[in-house]
Amino acid sequence: ESWTGPDGKVYHSHDGLAPHSHEPIYSPGYFSSRAPPLVNRDFNERAFTIGIGGPVGTGKTALMLALCEMLRDHYSLAAVTNDIFKKEDGEFLVKHGALPEERIRADNLAANFSRELADYIIYIIDVSGGDKIPRKGGPGITQADLLVINKTDIADAVGADLAVMERDSLRMRDGGPFVFTQVKHGVGVQQIVEHVLGAWEAATGKKSAINLIFSIFVSFL
């Protein structure tokens, strides 16, 4: 079943919960008008899912490893990785002992940015692409629940101006949160944890046990 929304786009839903459109995207949209979190999910029956998206090489798997290491002793976690062709990310997490192997699953998937992918979406970029990345927009940058700007320790080496990235992130994110990080060195990871747990509390009202699934998707937007 499909229908035309108030914006003129044709929408459909696979599960009745998350209507979406596959029509071309001509604007990255705004954080304040992004699709709302799905509210008809019973977190006593399913885990709260955190999606980590972004271009190849920005630090998605390293971030998942860091989050697992910080949270695994306190909460029930699972990890799902989606490489483009191989299962390298899953093998990396197993090798580094992120979680017990039976709690790590790997597949291959390339995805566009979508609210359907997770209950809370982190979009990660890094400074190696230059300080122009935030202002170039894209739904991941403008509409993700949290934008992570990684590898700030190499900003000088690649000629990226962090002040420019901060200014443009403030403008493009329309007030939405973002964090500068050096995930490999643990810098900024605690801030991300606080955002994740805050989102879980807001979604569940602290009425369910904390069961988290971290899922990586490679996004080209």
pLDDT tens profile 113-159: 566 668 899 999 999 999 999 998 788 899 899 999 999 999 999 99
pLDDT tens readout for residues 176-191: 999 999 999 999 999 9
> Tokens 């300080």 map to which residue?
131
Amino acid at 114: S
Q: Distance between CA 211 and CA 67 in Å, rounded?
A: 14
pLDDT confidence tier of residue 101, bands split at 50, 70 and 90: low
pTM of the model: 0.77
Residue 29 within any structural domain of the chain: no
Domain that holds residue 126: 48-219
Amino acid at 14: H
- Write out the two tokens for 28: 């990255």
Q: Distance between CA 189 and CA 155 in Å, rounded?
A: 18
Q: Are strands 2-4 and 120-126 parallel, antiparallel or unpaired?
A: unpaired
Residue 22 within any structural domain of the chain: no
Mean pLDDT for all residues in the chain: 80
CATH code for the domain of 207: 3.40.50.300
Query: Smallest Cα–Cα separation from 138: which of 109, 179, 172, 115?
Result: 172
Residue 13 within any structural domain of the chain: no
Enclosing H/E stretch for 2: strand 2-4
b/e for 159-194, b at 16 or more Cβ within 10 A? Answer: ebeeeebeebbeebbeebbbbbbebeeeebbeebee
38 pLDDT more than 80: no
Residue 197 within any structural domain of the chain: yes
Residue 147 within any structural domain of the chain: yes
How many domains would you assign to the chain? Answer: 1
Composition of the chain by helix, strand, coil, percent to 5: 35, 25, 40
Residue 169 within any structural domain of the chain: yes
What was the pLDDT predicted at 85? 46
